[in-house]
Amino acid sequence: MAQQKKSSTLGYIVVITLVLTALYVFFNPSPQSPEKVTLDTFLSDINSEIVETIQVSSNKIDYTTTGGANFYTIKESGQTLSEVLATVDPAKTDGIAMEVIDTTSNNIWMELAVSLIPFILIIGFLLFMMKSAASSNNQALSFGKSQARIADPEKKKTTFKDVAGAREAKEELIEIVDFLKNPSKYTSMGAKIPKGVILIGQPGTGKTLMARAVAGEANVPFFNISGSEFVEMFVGVGASRVRDLFKKAKRNAPCIVFIDEIDAVGRHRGAGMGGGHDEREQTLNQILTEMDGFEQDTNVIVMAATNRPDVLDPALLRPGRFDRRVVIDTPDIEDRTEILKIHTRNKPLAKNTELERIARQTPGFSGADLENLANEAAILAAKNNKKSVTQHDLEISIEKVVMGPERKSRVLSAKEKEITAYHETGHAIVGHLLPECDPIHKISIISRGMALGVTWFLPEEDKHLYSKTKFENELASLLGGYATEKMMFGEVSTGPSNDLERATKIAHKMVTKYGMSDLGPTIFGDNNDEIFLGKDFKHMRTYSEEIASKIDAMVRSIVEKALKQATEILKKHEKQLHEIAKTLIKEETLDRKEFIKLFDTTSTLNLKLP
Ligand code: ADP
Ligand code: MG
Ligand code: ZN
């Protein structure tokens, strides 16, 4: 509305102005254009004293008379006004206002301007070119600038409260926080402030989170860069990025520089396959130089994270560099409960949820896995239009995270279903009867991910040590599926392939890594992943051909012994095998209680375990 009003007012003003102008022009005819007269007339007008003003520009002389009329006349070029008036009595010109307009100089300026225009244009163009060249140059140069991101101070700070568990790690890091807050407390005692802290832990255990929390607790800036960002396609970029990063950091001290995934640059120097390690070496050298170059009172603490401390260059870890090592463990059951609490804080949980039970069912989950689990549960609840996230949502999400989503679309034929049911029952029965196997949690023949069925064992508590018997029992249970197929159908399908692979790996480790075979307590190193990490790929094998064949034989005998054990158990419990497999075909899923009930009611034999 207001807009419209304004524009209509404007319209009126324009119209009125136009009308007024027209009226003015109409009633106020412009002064008569000057009439041309001869030079003589001009002089005689002066002599008769009727000239009031004279204006000379170039060869033209304009003059007005006392009657208000305008005239003009032309003089010879080069003649000045006083020369023109030479013949007139000076007394006659006394009262005349004379003005000479200097047109010649005007013209010179005009001419100069005109002739300069092309130059001006050219210079402008050149300047423009230079400027744009410079800016693209800048872009090329900024490759060497670190891409470190500084955490936004406006954003909510991460603190130790956001990191659940990891008590020991926190305790060590509290010290670092104190260094950053009160450096003088330590320097006055002659203590050196640590320069580097390396956080070691499996992926997803919260290393990055922890580093952020340290910065948040100390309330200092946090420069965050990933090791892989140092290694780009241009040689020398890494080193210059490091220089730049440290320069920035020193300007912002006290602060934390966080180098994530430091193993990308910090591997053993002088090793590694493939190209590009020179660049890495330079980058690493630059980091070391920068850290050595810190003044005693430079309050910059470099934190780094890795999940492969074993491949790091020893020079990184020596005193005065990353000499503080903080291990962040995979969370235990209590920590898992805490982490779940943190990640369900902003989700409406049903009243009867027991996060501790979820924690119990998720051994080996990292913080990131648990976060994912909580998120999946929330998605599931939302999908079903529920008001809150229930225990059931959480439990289903565990299965989804562990085994991939159920694939209801994959339809098994009756025969496939039967084979799968027997196979899984085989695993379950052997696992159930062997003392060192974890309790059964669930058996299912709903296909998930790549697997057609699954038998899920769940330990009562987190385990840190494994005995030889435990490995043997697990091998037997792993081979339970294979044994059943062979027993029931006379031949095996491709189903147990994954079981066999895992069994072979376990047996191989027992022999070469844990000293759990007749070959004695020697480690036979041919850890394959070292090849990729380039630590010592020249000495891939530290043993002779003879030992190699002994290892093979040993692995085979361990696996075969397990298969025999599994077959014996299954033969003795054939009745249960049939009963449970049939129920499984009907029900598709059995939980722990249902399985045990079925097993016990069909049990006739009282087995004496081998
Ligand atoms: P890392 O750097 O060790 O691979 P991150 O720090 O990136 O792991 O962790 C990934 C996510 O997992 C974090 O953003 C956080 O949400 C969650 N997380 C991991 N550990 C914890 C923990 N102890 N407490 C709370 N959340 C955690
Ligand atoms: Mg990380
Ligand atoms: Zn199997």
- Determine the pLDDT at residue 504: 94
Count how many Cα atoms sit within 13 Å of the Cα of residue 227 in the half-sphere of its side chain: 21
Task: Please state the pTM of the whole predicted model.
Answer: 0.64
> 393 is written with which tokens?
């949502």
Kindly report the protein residue whose alpha carbon is nearest to atom 27 of ligand 1: 367
Q: Is 208 in the pocket of ligand 1 (CB under 6 A)?
A: yes
Mean pLDDT computed over 7-32: 66
Task: Ligand 1 pocket test: pick from 371, 375, 401 the residue with the most ligand atoms within 8 Å of its Cβ.
Answer: 371
* Share above pLDDT 90 across residues of the chain, in percent, rounded to a whole number: 27
Which are the catalytic amino acids? 424
Could you identify the atom of ligand 1 that is nearest to the CA of residue 206? Answer: 6
Check if 363 has its Cβ closer than 6 Å to any atom of ligand 1: no
Q: State the DSSP string of 493-507.
A: -STTHHHHHHHHHHH
Judge whether 231 and 265 are in contact, CB under 8 Å.
Answer: yes
- Measure 513 CA to ligand 1 centroid, in angstroms: 30
328 alpha carbon – ligand 2 mean position (Å): 12
Model pLDDT, residue 193: 78
Is the CB–ligand 1 distance for residue 361 below 6 Å?
no
Q: Is 204 in the pocket of ligand 1 (CB under 6 A)?
A: yes
pLDDT of residue 428: 95
Q: What is the pLDDT of residue 2?
A: 44
Specify the pLDDT at position 78.
77
Q: Which residues contact 201 (CB under 8 A, 6 or more apart)?
A: 207, 305, 307, 327, 328, 329, 330
CA 342 – ligand 1 centroid, Å: 11
Q: What are the residues facing 480 on neighbouring strands?
A: none
Cα of 366 from ligand 1 centre, angstroms = 8
DSSP class of residue 325? E
What is the rounded (10 degree) CA torsion for 414, 415, 417, 419?
160
Cα(535) to ligand 3 centroid in Å equals 35
Ligand number, closest to the Cα atom of 485: 3
Which range, 46-60, 65-79, 460-474, 535-549, has the best average confidence (pLDDT)? 460-474
pLDDT at position 324 is: 86
Q: In testing the pocket of ligand 1, which one of 207, 209, 336, 341 has its CB within 8 Å of the most ligand atoms?
A: 209
Q: Does 163 sit in the ligand 1 pocket, CB within 6 Å?
A: yes
Report the pLDDT value the prediction gives residue 271, as an integer from 0 to 100.
Answer: 52
- pLDDT, tens only, 283-309: 788 888 888 877 766 788 899 999 888
Pairing of strands 300-306, 440-444: unpaired
Report the pLDDT value the prediction gives residue 530, as an integer from 0 to 100. 45
Give buried/exposed letters for 181-202 (b at 16+ CB in 10 A, else e).
Answer: eebeeeeeeeeebbbbbbbbbe
Residue 25 has pLDDT above 80, yes or no: no
Look at 297 and 137; give whichever has higher pLDDT: 297
Measured in Å, residue 606 CA sits from the centre of ligand 3 at 26
339 ligand 1 Cβ < 6 A: yes
Question: Is the CB of 46 within 6 Å of ligand 1?
Answer: no
Least reliable range by pLDDT among 42-46, 174-178, 195-199, 559-563: 42-46
Answer whether 374 contacts ligand 1 (Cβ < 6 A): no
Residues 6+ apart with CB under 8 A from 322: 195, 196, 197, 198, 302, 304, 316
**The three-state (H, E, C) secondary structure of 549-570, written as one string:** HHHHHHHHHHHHHHHHHHHHHH
Ligand nearest to the CA of 338: 1
Tell me the CA–centroid distance for residue 320 and ligand 2, in Å. Answer: 24
Cβ–Cβ < 8 Å for 507, 553: no
Query: In the chain, what percentage of residues exceed pLDDT 70?
Result: 83
> How many residues in the chain?
610
From CA 456, how far away is CA 399, in angstroms rounded?
10
Ligand showing the shortest atom-to-Cα distance for residue 205: 1
The pLDDT, as a whole number, for residue 31 is: 54
Residue with the larger pLDDT of the pair 382 and 149: 382
Report, as an integer, the average pLDDT of 542-548: 84
What is the SS3 assignment for 456?
Answer: strand
Per the CB < 8 A criterion, the answer to whether 573 and 607 are in contact is yes
* Residue 516 pLDDT greater than 60, yes or no: yes
pLDDT tens string 390-425? 999 999 898 888 777 777 677 778 888 899 999 999
Q: Is 164 in the pocket of ligand 1 (CB under 6 A)?
A: yes
Buried b (16+ CB within 10 A) or exposed e, 341-375: ebbbeeeebeeebebeebbbbbbebbbbbbbbbbe
pLDDT computed for residue 86 by the predictor? 80
> Hey, whose CA ends up nearest to atom 9 of ligand 1?
206
Q: Which amino acid is at 99?
A: E
What atom of ligand 1 comes closest to residue 164's alpha carbon?
A: 24
The owner of tokens 């976060």 is 371
Q: Which ligand is nearest to the CA of 445?
A: 3
What does each C-alpha distance from 30 to 24, 27, 258 come to in angstroms? 10, 9, 82
Residue 529 has pLDDT above 50, yes or no: no
Q: Give φ, ψ of 64 to 5 degrees.
A: -115, 150
What is residue 269's predicted lDDT score, i.e. its pLDDT?
59
- Answer yes or no: is the C-beta of 340 below 6 A from any ligand 1 atom: no
On the question of pLDDT at 364 being above 50, the answer is yes
| Average pLDDT across the chain, whole number | 82
Nearest CA to ligand 1 atom 5: 206
With 60 as the cut, is the pLDDT of residue 584 above it?
Answer: yes
Least trusted range by pLDDT, from 106-110, 116-120, 191-195, 547-551? 106-110
